[in-house]
Every structure is written in C-alpha cells, then in structure tokens.
Homo-oligomer: A and B are copies of this chain.
Amino acid sequence: MRLTEKRIAAALREHGYKLTPQRRVVIGAIAASPDHLTPADLYQKAHQDHPTIGLTTIYRTLEILARLELICELHAGGSCRSYTIGAPEHHHHIICSVCGEVVDFSGYDISPLEKRLSRETGFEIEGHLLEFIGRCQNCQQNA
C-alpha cells in the first residue's frame, strides 16, 4: 500500500468513517491511476479486486472522498449545462453555491497563462473554463 493510500485511509478513520474492504479497493484503484476516472471506470477497476462491489458504493465512496478533499473532482458539482446569451470567450462566471445565482465578470485576460501552457505541454488550446463558486451577499446575510 502506497503512502497516499495510507493517508487517505487515516483521514477516513479520523472523520469517523469505517474502513471497509470496498473503500480500500476504491481508494486503491483511484490512487493507482494517474488518469481521471469516471465512477463507471472506477467501478470496473474496483470490480476486479472485489467482484461483489456495487456501483452505489462507488458513488458513496467518491462523495465522501471528494468532500474530505482527498480526491479531486473534475467539473464543479451538480448537473451541467445551463446557457446564457453571448460568446463564451468574453466573460466568466461566479456562481452562488446556495441560491445558484450567476454573476458574470470580465476584464481578466487569461491568454498569458494559455500561452505558457501551450508552450509547456504542447497542447493546442481551444478554450477554457474559469468559474468561481461562492456565496453571494444575500445568502451570506441569510446564514
């Protein structure tokens, strides 16, 4: 068992979660892969070591690990896809985590970073996604 796995196991225990074989397997699978894996990917991998594991358990384990910030989730939570008028490149968003309000902001030039990444990684950058999550003023007051 590698260091990261031990650390995750310890963190689970610290927060009062039981360390089940199923959770070990999920943690092992996610720690062993350098790639981003979907819940279905992880189910498949975990299934090799633990054939009776249920998909539900994968989802539940991922939710816990993500909440404890032991794993990293690509794309912010909730369902994707909502739309507004206007071209994507000219502004970005701040989304209220409580009420869902979306505020746009502009005036931030991300192209220097884009150039640096293109140079360092060889990627031909086609676009980006920059969003902030937080609490709007209203929801701060109502808390």
Contact = CB atoms under 8 A, between A and B. Distances in A.
B137 A128 contact: no
Contact of A102 (B74, B88, B118): B74
B129 A129 contact: yes
Given A79-B38, A123-B136, A124-B140, A74 B103 contact: no
Copies of the polypeptide in the assembly: 2
Interface residues of A, number: 68
A129 to B, nearest CB: 4
Contacts of A82: 36-38, 41, 73-75
B38 A74 contact: no
Given A30-B83, A75-B131, A125-B132, 8 more contacts: A30-B85, A35-B84, A36-B102, A39-B81, A70-B87, A105-B121, A122-B137, A127-B132
